[in-house]
């Protein structure tokens, strides 16, 4: 009986720890804008200029797949916002990232 209680306690503790870890952001956030530190908002014209200049840009469309399939920017990839945290480690760091 004690062993079962111990297993239940460990399971609950692990589950609570996992839930808390998922809620904590893994990147610094600006307290005023609530954006990732260093993130900058750009206009469509600024993005067009960057693309015309040959800047390597990765456009990440964070909308639901159904919305992405209806219309998106050419060359964009779809990573729904609720899945973005899981993909962050795989996103290249040598390109300008554009989230839309």
Answering whether pTM is above 0.75, one says no
Query: What are 55-98's pLDDT values in tens digits?
Result: 888 999 999 999 999 998 888 999 999 998 898 889 888 888 88
Q: Is the dihedral of CA 18, 19, 20, 26 positive or negative?
A: positive
Q: How far, CA to CA in Å, does 46 sit from each of 3, 71, 76?
A: 63, 21, 17
Contact 78, 68 (CB under 8 A): yes
Pick the CATH number of 42-99 from 3.50.50.60, 3.40.50.300, 3.40.30.10, 3.40.250.10: 3.40.250.10
């Amino acid at each position: 009986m004690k062993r079962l209680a111990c297993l239940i306690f460990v399971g609950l503790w692990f589950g609570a720890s996992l839930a808390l870890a998922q809620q904590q952001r893994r990147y610094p956030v600006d307290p005023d804008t609530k954006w990732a530190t260093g993130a900058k908002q750009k206009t469509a014209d600024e993005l067009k200029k960057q693309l015309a200049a040959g800047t390597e840009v990765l456009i990440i469309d964070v909308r639901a797949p159904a919305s992405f399939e209806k219309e998106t920017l050419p060359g964009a990839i779809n990573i729904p916002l609720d899945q973005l945290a899981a993909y962050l480690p795989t996103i290249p760091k040598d390109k300008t990232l554009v989230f839309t």
